Structure 1
Amino acid sequence: MGMKRRPSFKTRLKRFRKSMGPGLITGASDDDPSGIATYTQAGAKFGTGLLWTAIVTYPLMVVVQEMCARIGLVTKQGLTGIIKRNYPRPVLYLVLLVSFPSIILNIGADIAAMGAVSNLLVPAVPGWTWSIIFTMALLYATIVWNYRKISTVLKWLCISLFAYLMIPMITKTDWVSAIKNTLIPGFHTSTDYLMALVGILGTTISPYLFFWQTSMEVEEITERHVVVDKRIISAMETDVKGGMLFTNIVFYFIILAAGNVLYRAGIHQIDTVEEAAMALKPLAGDSAYVLFAAGIIGTGLLAIPVLAGSLSYIMAETFDWQEGLNKKFSEARGFYITMGIALVMGLLIQFLDISPIQALLYTAILYGLIAPLLIGLILHICNNPVIMGRYTNKRLTNILGIITLLIMTSTSILLLYQLL
């Protein structure tokens, strides 16, 4: 009996890519340009002092996204559809009222950031021109391409996040201090520190990801025509854990890079991603600067379709429209028109008198208000056997879910207190 031939590298790469599901895209899109601005600001202000948040937020992110994914797999419905069918209408309208402006503001901040860093790389073309180019390209891709193509392109765009893992490798890094601040949480009661902490939590546990994850699982099983069983649930859990681990590794390295370069150089106030990129150039060299800027563009191209898609799913399920990236424009007009309106409104924000940082602040406030409500609803849904059948929450999931709910509630109260 001959030895089995080992699969070629190309075959193994293809299998690995196919094994990556919605969890990877969801996780990677969490590190969008607005998230990068938040992490860079945290690193510039406090050095490596907030690295511990990458460890603490990981189980919280996993538990919420796993519940959302399970809801999608078991019910074959998006999160908004479940809320509409099982809860009072005012709850649905409150979710819609807060989600719409927060997602539009987030899209606007991301488009502006992509335009700004593209202008840094190619100064001959104004930032607003780049923003229009990116918006048109994203409109075309999301409307014309099918789900499989969009999903494949989004997975490949995840590679752009590796740029941030390289920066600490090509700059001088105090690894002893970094490891110490990773393993031993520090805590201060200063307003700036609390605001940075609230910003990190709001950026990592973002409500739009709850809607996207749920709907993407529905798209995935519809596309693959599979019956949900324990094996499918187990594969989903692995995918979610992997996706969230990826996003946390990246956000860890963004804080580390900013702490290494900007904090140590005495640059403690970074208000925009282009400021961060420009500050890196003289201190860390052209390679770090180009990597940072390229990462912004790649993550923007990845995150904006997720943001706009989340809003389309919310609207479609609210008004019972046909939905899905696996449908053609003629089959789901309301779904795709919502996506187009979201992108155009996001683009127009930068022509108004709202700075990207203001947009991010408003987004953080709105996310902070809606996240506890949604996490509470998700926990309630996942403990309801009428909705979830035999796939209700286990005890550990409930414990971690309740901890996440308490942390998000207390931080949103803290954020409001600091602002008022």
Structure 2
Amino acid sequence: MILDKLKVIGPGAIISASFVGPGTITTATQAGASFGYALLWALVFSVITTMVLQIMVARLGIIAQKGLGAAIRDQFANPVIKYSVMGFVIVSIFIGCAAYMSGDLNGTSLGIATLTGWSLDVIGPIVGVIVLVLGLSGSYKLIEKVMIALVIVMSIVFITTMIMAKPDVGEVFAGAFAPSIPVGSIITIVALVGTTVVPYNLFIHSSSVQERWNKPSHLKESRLDIFISIGLGGLISASVLITSGTLMRGVEVETVADLALQLKPFLGEWAETFLAIGIFSAGFSSTTASALGAAITTSSILKWKDGMKNWRFKAVFVAVILIGIFSFVFNFEPLDVLLFAQALNGILLPGIAVILLIIMNNKKLLGNYTNSIKINMIGSIVVLVCIALGTYSLVTAVSSFFG
């Protein structure tokens, strides 16, 4: 019975594999080291927010058999508004995915380097080429299976390390369900939510569900996939924070690899190897998802046919990967570009959230499957949070740029 239910896992696992990347793991490690379990609630909140948004886009994909990009394009009749929104979304997603690709490659390479002792400079391009081949295969099923496998590996690694750390269960529950904002924690809270609620995941999900489901009766399976997969992704992130909060409280964190030193009393010489496998899985999955997100968003908005087999889809996928490899090899990560990507994301996230809520109430598109009053109320709260998060991100980016 349980195994039958697990068979629904698929599109949701891609979303989890996407948001549990090197950035999320590093942020969770820093959050635990700086504030103990106090910010666990922010992770719980961000996972719930992600579930609400992903349930809506999954319903859009299954009922309308249309990706979020295509739905956004069709939502606006005025050509000026239509093409302005289309252009902004494509540019924002592409720049964002390309800007953070180098960091994802670095995270993946760090894992392999720890395992093998090879040079990071050699590993990064090799990983990029492997992801490139995966995307050029044009096989959604292959990517889905790889992502599911990586989520399983991350679950084993990070949940096991949490158990080995023996955290105080009472304190963990207090941190998860009794929100507090310690002094100096605002930026970390925003980072925890921002690395989990990812705009391009909305585009990926609305398209990927169409590969598995196409009937209203499939909505239940899709929701179960979301609850299991994204819940597991959240548990992975929480495990990192809890482990760090247990073993590293007060320790200055440079990279997530610092966690290996704290695990040696429990895992001995296997500590680095064990954690390296988890870091590699997080980096590889996030790298793949970044390129996939840019390609799916562009493909959906411009209504390219044949999905991942379309040569233009592959061209976007290749472009993002090559930019990432170039940035990694030449250590080209100018702060201005990263801040610009952050500023664009600060506008994009709340904008997409608002447009999604409008689309999900479009009876012509969804018929009887538009949002209920309850979902609209929950969705409105999520939109307000996204607006606050986006505004803070935008202001921070602009202040840093001129500062």
Is 2:255 the counterpart of 1:272? yes
Q: 1-side partners of 2:122 and 2:164: how far apart?
A: 32
Q: Residue 134 of structure 1 aligns with which residue?
A: 127
Contact persistence 1:103–1:307 (CA under 8 A): yes
2:202 to 197, 203, 210: 210
Change (3 A) 1:31 1:274: same
The percentage of counterpart residues that share the same residue type is 24
Structure 1 segment 13-412 matched on structure 2, within 5 A: 13=3, 15-87=4-76, 88-123=82-117, 125-144=118-137, 146-162=139-155, 163-188=157-182, 190=183, 192-221=184-213, 226=214, 228-229=215-216, 231-263=217-249, 266-268=250-252, 270-277=253-260, 281=264, 285-325=268-308, 327=309, 332-354=310-332, 364-412=342-390
Contact 1:198/1:412, CA 8 A, preserved across alignment: no
Aligned-pair CA distance for 1:58:
3.0
SS at match of 1:393: coil
Q: Give distance in 1, aligned partners of 2:324 and 2:293.
A: 14
Q: CA deviation at 1:152?
A: 2.0
Compared CA separation, residues 353 and 155, structure 1 to 2 (3 A): closer
Change in CA separation of 1:282 and 1:110 when aligned onto 2, cut-off 3 Å:
farther
Q: 1:412 to 1:100 in 2, by over 3 A?
A: same
Q: Secondary structure at the match of 2:368?
A: coil
Instruction: Tell me how far 1:100 sits from its aligned partner.
Output: 1.0
Which amino acid letter does the alignment assign opposite residue 257 of structure 1? T
Residue 79 of structure 2 corresponds to none
The TM-score normalised by the length of structure 1 is 0.86
> What do the CA deviations read for 1:361-386 (whole angstroms, capped 9, x no partner)?
66554433311000001000001111
Shift, 1:17, TM fit: 5.0
Extract unaligned runs of 5+ from structure 1.
1-6
Shift of 1:311: 0.9
Name structure 2 gaps, 5 residues minimum: 77-81
Change in 2 beyond 3 A, CA 1:366/1:281: farther
Q: Deviations over 1:199-231 (max 9, x none)?
A: 01111111011010011012223xxxx4x12x2
Cα distance, 1:152–1:414 mapped onto 2, change above 3 Å: closer
- 1:4 corresponds to: none
Q: Deviations over 1:96-124 (max 9, x none)?
A: 1211111112222111111123212222x
Deviates more, 1:65-74 or 1:149-158: 149-158
Tell me the distance in 1 between the aligned counterparts of 2:75 and 2:343: 27
CA distance in 2: counterparts of 1:271 and 1:354, whole angstroms = 20
Q: How many residues of Structure 1 are paired with residues of Structure 2 in the alignment?
A: 392
Distance in 2 between the 1:45 and 1:365 partners? Answer: 26
C-alpha distance 100-61 of structure 1, shift in aligned 2 (>3 A):
same
Residue 55 of structure 1 deviates from its aligned partner by 2.5
Structure 1 residues 138-159: Cα deviation after superposition (integer angstroms, max 9, x where no partner):
1112222622232222212211
**What CA distance in whole angstroms lies between the structure 2 residues aligned with 1:18 and 1:209?**
21
Q: Is the 8 A contact 1:34 1:106 kept in 2?
A: no
Query: For 1:107, what is the secondary structure of its paired residue?
Result: helix
Instruction: Report the Cα distance in structure 1 between the residues aligned to 2:259 and 2:94, rounded to whole angstroms.
Output: 29
